[in-house]
């Protein structure tokens, strides 16, 4: 697809987004949950206005400390993240997307409530097949965003972990494989947490020459079996939100 020639076609929205050109800020925070996007917009952004509600994938643009910021849901899984992040990057002039979500801890190094920043993402998906690469592609975070996020977490004295994570098409607790053949193998290779969207986001950023970072709050641990309640998942992720907003 020729991205430039498609801009005019999508000037008044895409099949998945009714936002107009200019409605989105250069930086978009992207939780999976639409209600989480709504919560962030209403809690942190000044002058927030809704720019999208297609399939209830809520999106808003406002300002944070005088700087423009958008927040929009991605939905669940790599394919959904792939669609929404691609459109934001390719058709709306978005330069940076910061995924803010929850993850599962795969080692004792990550405790429930910790922030995890994905330096790179491994996967069991076939998302990178589209690039016809003669090998295995491992997409990284944008170093500038990662460096600033780490600095923010340190300044705020927020417990955090930085390294490789696993983006899986299979929710690890529901895997048909025995533990020792499933997530434990990834954990032994240094993947201390798992999500479902990071790999697709990082691939899109690499392909389109954009910037991306995924950070998560660990909501449950495969090791300790501790987990947050649904209400905590919705509202108790304040530290992660604030670190992400510091990137504006």
* Active site annotation includes 220: yes
Helix axes 143-155, 238-245, angle to 10 degrees: 130
Take residue 43 and report the two structure tokens written for it: 């809690």
Helix H, strand E, coil C: the string for the chain is CCHHHHHCCCCCCECCECCCCCCCCCEEEECCCHHHHHHHHHHHCEEEEEEECHHHCCEEEEEECCEEEEEECCCCCHHHHHHHHHHHHHHCCCCEEEEEEEEEECCCCCCCCCEEEEEEEEECCCHHHHHCCCCCCCCECCHHHHHHHHHHHHHCCCCEEEEEEEECCCCHHHCCCCHHHCHHHHHHCCCCEEECCHHHHHHHHHHHCCEEEEEEEEEEECCCCCECCHHHHHHCCHHHHHHHHCCC
Q: Which of 142, 195, 220, 246 is catalytic?
A: 220
Catalytic positions, written as ranges: 220
């Amino acid at each position: 697809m020729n991205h430039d020639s498609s801009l005019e076609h999508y000037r008044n929205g895409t099949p998945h987004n009714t936002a107009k050109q200019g409605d989105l800020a250069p930086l978009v925070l992207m939780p999976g949950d639409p209600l989480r996007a709504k919560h962030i917009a209403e809690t942190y952004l000044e002058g927030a206005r809704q720019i999208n509600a297609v399939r209830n994938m809520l999106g808003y643009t406002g300002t944070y400390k005088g700087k423009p910021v958008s927040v929009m849901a991605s939905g669940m899984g790599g394919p959904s993240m792939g669609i929404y992040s691609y459109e934001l990057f390719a058709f709306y002039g978005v330069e940076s997307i910061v995924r803010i979500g929850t993850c599962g801890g795969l080692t004792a190094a990550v405790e429930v409530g910790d922030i995890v920043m994905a330096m790179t993402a491994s996967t069991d998906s076939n998302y990178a097949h589209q690039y016809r690469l003669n090998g295995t592609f491992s997409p990284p975070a944008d170093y500038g965003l990662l460096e600033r996020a780490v600095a923010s977490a340190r300044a705020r004295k927020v417990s955090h972990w930085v390294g490789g994570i696993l983006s899986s098409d299979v929710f690890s607790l529901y895997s048909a494989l025995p533990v020792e053949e499933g997530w434990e193998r990834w954990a032994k290779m240094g993947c201390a947490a798992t999500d479902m969207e990071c790999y697709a986001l990082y691939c899109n950023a690499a392909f389109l020459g954009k910037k991306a970072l995924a950070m998560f709050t660990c909501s449950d641990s495969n090791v300790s079996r501790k987990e947050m309640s649904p209400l905590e998942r919705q509202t108790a992720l304040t530290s992660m939100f604030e670190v992400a907003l510091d990137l504006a």
